[in-house]
Amino acid sequence: MPRLTPHAVQGELKPLPHVRNIIAVGSGKGGVGKSTTAVNLALALAAEGLAVGVLDADVYGPSVPMMLGLSGRPDSPDGKTIEPMRAHGIEAMSIGLLVDQDTPMIWRGPMATSSLTQLLEQTRWGDLDVLVVDLPPGTGDIQLTMAQKIPVAGAVIVTTPQDIATLDARKALKMFEKLGIAVLGLVENMAVHVCTQCGHAEHLFGEGGAARMSAQYGVPVLGSLPLEIGIREQGDAGMPMVAAQPDAAPSQAYRDIARAMLAQLDKRPKLRSGIMASLLGS
């Protein structure tokens, strides 16, 4: 199995032991399919032969457990650390696995950010090539904590072609830049809908929004995804598209996006081998 080289992170932070690269998946607003993209991206990376985990950082609205079909509580062998749960060949952790499904997280910012760092640092991650972190929408406390305390190798921004979505995606991009986190690229979700009855293709949310944003800011478009009912149905059923239908066109689109993201990550500075060995405990 290939191993992915650890890449440089922001500021003076150092990669976590046993987690070679953290990739943040963010968006400027909700409703653009960020969590669906994050989960399928993680599965697409695993399909490339990498050891992958996903951390649900949306403590107010955790959706990763449902999307991965996870239930029950994770084990804690020593009462201090938590074993990640596994689904479809990847590791996963979410606040949604530690509280009842209907329990609202009525937390102020410091409590939310503290829970994020605890979930990240107290989870007994395996030797991961990539940990995909599904951020909450917006540019608030969680994102600031991510930049200050969590070593991130790169970020991916999810948007739809709609102008109101790319307007907020631009804010997310500028936020990552100000925080010193490299933006690896854009993912344009819900780019086109093809009628299952007649085959007519229609751009329900506009067209070319990510391309215009890419041209303006010099950030590549990693790929586009369709507005397809199967993606939603499979996510709701706990069997994401990449796992359920690996040969379907949307799954291939996720695989292409994963490869494009890895190509952009490969352009980033890499940690020297001596540093890498000491950080990973080898």
pLDDT band at 222 (very low <50, low <70, confident <90, very high): very high
- Cite the DSSP H helix spans in 187-228: 209-217
Give Cα 6 to chain centroid, integer Å. Answer: 17
8 Å CB contact between 148 and 10: no
8 Å CB contact between 47 and 255: yes
Report the distance separating Cα 148 and Cα 93, nearest Å. Answer: 21
**Coil, strand or helix at 56:** strand
| Phi, psi (rounded to 5 degrees) for 71 | -150, 170
What does R_g of the chain's alpha carbons equal in angstroms? Answer: 18
pTM beyond 0.85: the answer is: yes
The residues with which 132 forms a beta bridge, in sequence order, are 23, 54
Residues of the chain above pLDDT 70, percent:
86
pLDDT of residue 5: 93
Q: Encoding tokens for residue 212?
A: 């215009």
Residues sharing a CB contact under 8 Å with residue 276, sequence separation 6 or more, in sequence order: 5, 6
Say what the alpha-carbon torsion angle 205, 210, 215, 219 is, to the nearest 10 degrees.
Answer: 170
**Overall average pLDDT of the 140-154 stretch:** 83
**Mean pLDDT of all residues belonging to the chain:** 86
CA 132 to each of CA 3, 38, 52, 190, 191: distance values in angstroms, whole numbers, following the listed order: 16, 7, 8, 21, 23
Contacts 24+ apart (CB under 8 A), 254-258: 254/37, 254/40, 254/41, 254/43, 254/44, 254/225, 255/44, 255/47, 255/48, 256/223, 257/41, 257/44, 257/187, 257/222, 257/223, 257/225, 258/41, 258/44, 258/45, 258/47, 258/48
Nearest residue to 240 (alpha-carbon basis) of 71, 23, 65: 65
Q: Is the model's pLDDT at 1 over the cut of 90?
A: no
Q: Is the model's pLDDT at 105 over the cut of 90?
A: no
**At the topology level of CATH, where does 22-277 sit?**
Rossmann fold (3.40.50)
Report the distance separating Cα 131 and Cα 29, nearest Å. Answer: 22
Domain boundaries, the chain: 22-277
User: Phi/psi zone of residue 39: left (φ > 0), alpha (ψ -120 to 50 degrees), beta?
Assistant: alpha
pLDDT band at 261 (very low <50, low <70, confident <90, very high): very high
* Residue type (1 letter), 32: V
pLDDT band at 273 (very low <50, low <70, confident <90, very high): low
Q: Encoding tokens for residue 242?
A: 């990449």
Report the distance separating Cα 157 and Cα 10, nearest Å. Answer: 17
Other residues' Cβ atoms within 10 Å of the Cβ of residue 64: 25
**Overall average pLDDT of the 231-244 stretch:** 92
Per residue in 4-59, pLDDT tens?
Answer: 999 999 988 988 889 999 999 988 777 788 999 999 999 999 999 999 999 998 87
